[in-house]
């Protein structure tokens, strides 16, 4: 038992810190810290800086231009970049499609797509959920019918995060109605500028259009865009979902939110004293801080097991549930902390270079937006109820 990093791991952490000091643009970290909107160009700028260093393919092996880091090194990198308020790495190409192509894609697909993910040529989005297929993903209805050397795709995807920026979408489509629903699904790569593709933004309760609906109307897709075998897409989709999802516990995010919460509660005055000195409020903050301290160690225990070669199974379901409960509670307390200034919503003030002043303190609006936006945490990536089913089956064998 040793709760500290090895000397080599400490040296690596120092290297990451030095890199962030030197290369993370202040303009970007200020936006992240201040809860401002990040543009496509902002994400691309940060991706390019990481790629220049060889640190963009965090989960990728070296042979494909990745870092080759083990689980502990990835954890350190995530912890440090989160702490430094770096923009997140957009996960769709890098953490989702990339590993699937490496495992199931053809040589031609790997050679063509993987470098374009790293150098930013392609921005990918994810076409999984449909209006009628959420937690029950296998019930999806978007069809791909074979017509010569093309598939003809018809249907609708939804909750497509940052689809408005995407050049390409990886989709689960139905290629057969035979057998169980899981058996007729294929994994298809589609150009977003193909004729028949329409994107419609969805405004969420935080006032932002982060997600979209994507419609497919007789979209013709070359057969070489099929990944792996026809009707085996469910296997690849599950691999994507259970593939070591990095940072599922969100410990670094929670630590950053906790620090921000304490800062805000130290500035907000209630009955003549800083809110953080109110016994009831302080107790709520302390309670979630204690949970987070334990969660950080729970996370490290899973990380250490992964670094030792054990594939995390249902443990990641436990991390997801507890991690999202903690983040949501922190978001809740931060919203409560800002008081009456939780009410104003001045959307323009979130824009880069806008002259619009927020009403009240500048931390108020992002606090409320994060609260609304992060309701998603317990819904996406397999809702927390689905995670409980996984635990129940895989660990408890009920």
Q: Which is nearer to other proteins, 267 or 282 (CB)?
A: 282
**Distance of CA 42 to CAs 65, 91, 162, 227, Å?**
22, 15, 13, 30
Which chain residues interact with other proteins by CB under 8 A?
1-6, 9, 72, 279, 282-283, 286-287, 289-291, 293-298, 300-301, 304-305, 318, 321-322, 385, 387-389, 391-392, 395-398
Question: Would you state the structure tokens that stand for residue 22, as one six-digit string?
Answer: 């030197």
Q: Which is nearer to other proteins, 50 or 249 (CB)?
A: 249
Minimum distance of other proteins from residue 282's CB (angstroms) = 5
Helix, coil or strand: residue 104: helix
Minimum distance of other proteins from residue 281's CB (angstroms) = 10
Minimum distance of other proteins from residue 300's CB (angstroms) = 6
What is the CA 211 to chain-centroid distance, rounded? Answer: 13
Q: Which is nearer to other proteins, 38 or 305 (CB)?
A: 305
Identify the active-site residue in 44, 45, 244, 289. 244
Minimum distance of other proteins from residue 276's CB (angstroms) = 8
d(CA 384, CA 366): 25
Q: Which is nearer to other proteins, 63 or 271 (CB)?
A: 271
Q: Which of 244, 330, 335 is nearest to 295 (CA)?
A: 330
CB-side exposure of 255: number of CA atoms within 13 Å?
Answer: 17
244 is catalytic: yes
Q: Which is nearer to other proteins, 90 or 390 (CB)?
A: 390
Minimum distance of other proteins from residue 15's CB (angstroms) = 17
- DSSP letter string, 320-376: HHHHHHHHHHHHHHHHHHTGGGGS---GGGGSTT--PPPSS-TTHHHHHHHHHHGGG
Question: Would you state the structure tokens that stand for residue 134, as one six-digit string?
Answer: 């959420």
Scan for tokens 């009410």, then name that residue. 343
d(CA 4, CA 166): 41
What is the CA 13 to chain-centroid distance, rounded? Answer: 23
Enzyme catalytic residues: 244
């Amino acid at each position: 038992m040793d709760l500290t990093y090895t000397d080599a791991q400490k040296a690596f952490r120092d290297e990451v810190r030095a890199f962030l000091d030197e290369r993370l643009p202040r303009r970007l970290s200020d936006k992240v810290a201040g809860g401002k909107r990040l543009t496509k160009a902002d994400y691309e700028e940060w991706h390019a800086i990481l790629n220049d260093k060889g640190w963009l393919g965090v989960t990728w092996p070296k042979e494909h231009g990745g870092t080759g880091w083990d689980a502990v090194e990835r954890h350190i990198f995530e912890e440090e970049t989160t702490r430094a308020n770096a923009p997140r790495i957009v996960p769709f190409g890098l953490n989702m499609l990339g590993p699937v192509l490496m495992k199931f894609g053809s040589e031609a697909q790997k050679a063509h797509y993987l470098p374009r993910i790293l150098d930013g040529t392609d921005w990918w989005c994810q076409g999984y959920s449909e209006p009628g297929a959420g937690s029950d993903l296998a019930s999806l209805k978007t069809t791909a019918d074979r017509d010569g050397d093309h598939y003809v795709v018809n249907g609708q995807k939804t909750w497509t995060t940052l689809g408005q920026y995407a050049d390409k979408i990886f989709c689960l489509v139905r290629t057969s109605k035979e057998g169980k629903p899981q058996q007729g699904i294929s994994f298809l790569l589609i150009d977003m500028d193909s004729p028949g593709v329409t994107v419609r933004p969805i405004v969420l309760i935080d006032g932002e259009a982060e997600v979209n609906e994507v419609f497919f109307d007789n979209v013709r897709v070359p057969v070489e865009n099929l990944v792996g075998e026809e009707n085996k897409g469910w296997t690849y989709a599950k691999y994507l979902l259970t593939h070591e999802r990095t940072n599922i516990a969100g410990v670094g995010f929670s630590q950053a939110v906790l620090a921000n919460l304490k800062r805000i509660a130290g500035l907000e005055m209630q009955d003549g004293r800083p809110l953080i000195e109110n016994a009831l409020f302080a107790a709520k903050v302390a309670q979630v801080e204690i949970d987070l301290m334990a969660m950080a160690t729970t996370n490290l225990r899973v990380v250490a097991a992964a670094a030792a070669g054990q594939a995390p199974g249902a443990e990641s379901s436990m991390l997801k549930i507890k991690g999202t409960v903690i983040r949501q509670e922190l978001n809740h307390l931060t919203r409560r902390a800002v008081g009456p200034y939780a009410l104003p919503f001045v959307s323009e003030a979130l824009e880069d270079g806008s002259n619009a002043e927020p009403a009240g303190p500048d931390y108020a609006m992002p606090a409320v937006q994060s609260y609304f936006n992060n309701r998603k945490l317990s819904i996406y990536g397999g809702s927390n109820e689905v995670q409980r089913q996984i635990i129940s089956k895989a660990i408890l064998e009920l």
